[in-house]
Amino acid sequence: MAAISGNSLRTLRDAYHKLLSDKTSDDRDAWVLLSHYGEFSPSKIEHLVGIVEQLVLEAGSPRRVVKRVGSVMIEALQNAQIHGARDEKGSSGSFFVLKTSEKDFHLHISNLILTEDANLIDYKINSLNKLDNSELRKLYIETLCNENFSYKGGAGLGFLTIAKKASDKVIYDVSKASDEFSFFTVEIKVAR
């Protein structure tokens, strides 16, 4: 596998710092609740989800919102951990930022992916964004019953779960970092 260049990691770090200073698109009074720059291991994901659930609860949200934010976060971070590009040492570049506004919690996740995977991600998210809530529920049940698993062990439920629980369409961007790597950035809104 090709090495993730310093330029790609620098650009990812710059995007992280820009996101920390930017306001959310729909509310000027948004603020950062938590951020993390670095790799995501299963234990780190579990730890971050616990912190986020406590922060969402302390923000006055009901338990169902706490669980929804936690579920979306788990799926998104596991996608970054499992499907993110890695260099020959097994390292990857990624970050997570949780912002809150008056209406929503905004989960931002960005990581490097192989450029060859960019079209598939674009297709999956675009397809899901075209579905309404009832169509998402139906597809979710069909996918659960299908029991087809990918070579990485998933059944394709990650983005589907995110789309189903988000309060709005999933906002994402895939931009080329080099011939081999692209940046995948996603923003998921969950209603407060």
pLDDT of residue 154: 53
Q: What is the tens place of the pLDDT at every residue in 88-145?
A: 677 777 999 999 998 999 999 999 888 888 888 889 999 999 999 999 999 888 887 8
Tell me the average pLDDT across 17-38. 76
pLDDT of residue 119: 87
Q: What DSSP line would sit under 136-181, residue for residue? A: HHHHHHHHHHH----TTS--S-HHHHHHHH-SSPPEEEEEESSSSE
pLDDT of residue 177: 81
pLDDT of residue 149: 53
Whole-number Cα distances in Å, 62 to 47, 55, 67: 21, 12, 9
Q: Kindly list the domain boundaries of the chain, sorted by start residue.
A: 6-191
CATH 3.30.565.10 fits 6-191, yes or no: yes
Min mean pLDDT across 61-65, 86-90, 148-152, 179-183 is at 148-152
105 close to 24: Cβ distance less than 8 angstroms: no
pTM of the model: 0.85
Q: What is the tens place of the pLDDT at every residue in 35-77?
A: 999 889 999 999 999 999 999 999 999 999 999 999 999 999 9
**Cα–chain-centroid distance for residue 8?**
19
